[in-house]
Amino acid sequence: MNASTLFRLAKKSCQAWLDDYAPSMGAAISYYTAFSIAPLLVIVISIAGAVFGQDAVRGTIEGQISGLVGRDGALAIQGLIKSAREPTEGIIASTISIVLLVIGATTVFGEIQSALDRIWHVPEPSKPSGIWGLLRARFLSFGLILGLAFLLMASLTVSAAVAAAGTWLGALMPGWELMLMGINTLLSMSISCVLFAMIFKFMPSVPIAWRDVWVGAAVTAVLFEVGKVLIGLYVGKAGLSSTYAAAGAIAVVLIWVYYAAQIFLLGAEFTKVYAAEHGSHAAAPENLLDPVEPRKGATHADAALTPVTRVPAPAPAAAPLSTSALATTVALLAARVALSVWLERREKRDALRARR
């Protein structure tokens, strides 16, 4: 792929990014992330903590988050995780909490799937619908969460190995710190590439070849690695915590997720453009051309001389944003409020019994 081809793909990707209203989709993703980030991290910490210990995993995640969104944003996320991990008494309350935890963690993936279907212009009949479609989407989202936990465990294993090697190489190689920094950057990009590939492959309701997925995931990982540095500089210099006062920490997280979502959606657009021009979708272009039927009574010679008018097929309409994620969020909030009220009444009843 030469420079001119890459520039053309980038230009078409940016145009498609604008045509598909990616800024609006990024805002929706950042909104649902606010509800999903705490239960998502609780599940990931629980799974990876079974192998490495929850304190080690939690410390690693908190360090990564602090490096991305700053100290205030990291403290806000830590508070959300702490509130989501509060133990509940009783089988019914524990069961409801686990169900709400899973639903909350998978909500953001439903919005990501809706955004990817819109990017790929998936027709409405091809989208999953009904109760089985909803269950399938939830199981798929939970599978991605398990994959994220596996990637975290792999990252911790490799990081421990690199740290041990760095201690051993410290006396042999004076410049091993730079090499260690390069290895950590490469490791971060590799994990991001695998995660993006999983999302690009399994989330859209359209078949995509792996060769297209890996190209798009690699480009997205590079964009994300560069973009998170720029976003971090913006968040650090903008003074958002002081501007938004008490809500500053949450505002930092939402703004960071919003700009990260724009990078992700731009990478998804690049994957689609690459697949349409050089990948598995190149054999079936979007603008299929239909010849005009020859006029009635024309001979074969006349038909051969008749100019063929080719009309491009109309572009598929952009799919509206899915309302299933919104309905799930409303149900989640209602169930959470009901559970809180029930627990509060139970505590008051137990307190009255204790006084008697």
In whole angstroms, what separates CA 214 from the centre of its chain? 16
Based on the fold, state whether residues 129 and 34 are members of the same structural domain: yes
Measured between its terminal Cα atoms, the distance across the chain in Å is 80
Which one of 249, 283, 317 terminates a domain? 283
Domain containing 206: what range?
Answer: 3-283
Based on the fold, state whether residues 235 and 351 are members of the same structural domain: no
Based on the fold, state whether residues 38 and 145 are members of the same structural domain: yes
Based on the fold, state whether residues 127 and 42 are members of the same structural domain: yes
Percentage above 90 pLDDT, the chain: 13
Based on the fold, state whether residues 177 and 270 are members of the same structural domain: yes
**pTM score over 0.75:** no
Is residue 107 within 8 A of residue 32, CB to CB? The reply is yes
Based on the fold, state whether residues 171 and 240 are members of the same structural domain: yes
Percentage above 70 pLDDT, the chain: 60
Which one of 253, 283, 313 terminates a domain? 283
Domain count, the chain: 2
234-243 per-position pLDDT tens digit: 766 666 666 6
282-291 per-position pLDDT tens digit: 765 444 334 4
If phi > 0 it is left, if psi is from -120 to 50 it is alpha, else beta; for residue 88 that is beta
Give the Cα separation of 152 and 79 in Å (integer): 21
What are the distances in angstroms from CA 55 to CA 62, 76, 153, 339?
10, 18, 14, 28
The pLDDT of 192-215, averaged and rounded, is 90
Q: Which of 200, 198, 219, 215 is closest to 277 using CA atoms?
A: 215
Give residue 142's pLDDT.
72
Q: pLDDT: is 176 or 184 the higher one?
A: 184
Based on the fold, state whether residues 234 and 92 are members of the same structural domain: yes
Which one of 283, 312, 336 terminates a domain? 283
Give the Cα separation of 122 and 128 in Å (integer): 11
Instruction: Identify whether 300 is part of a domain.
Output: no
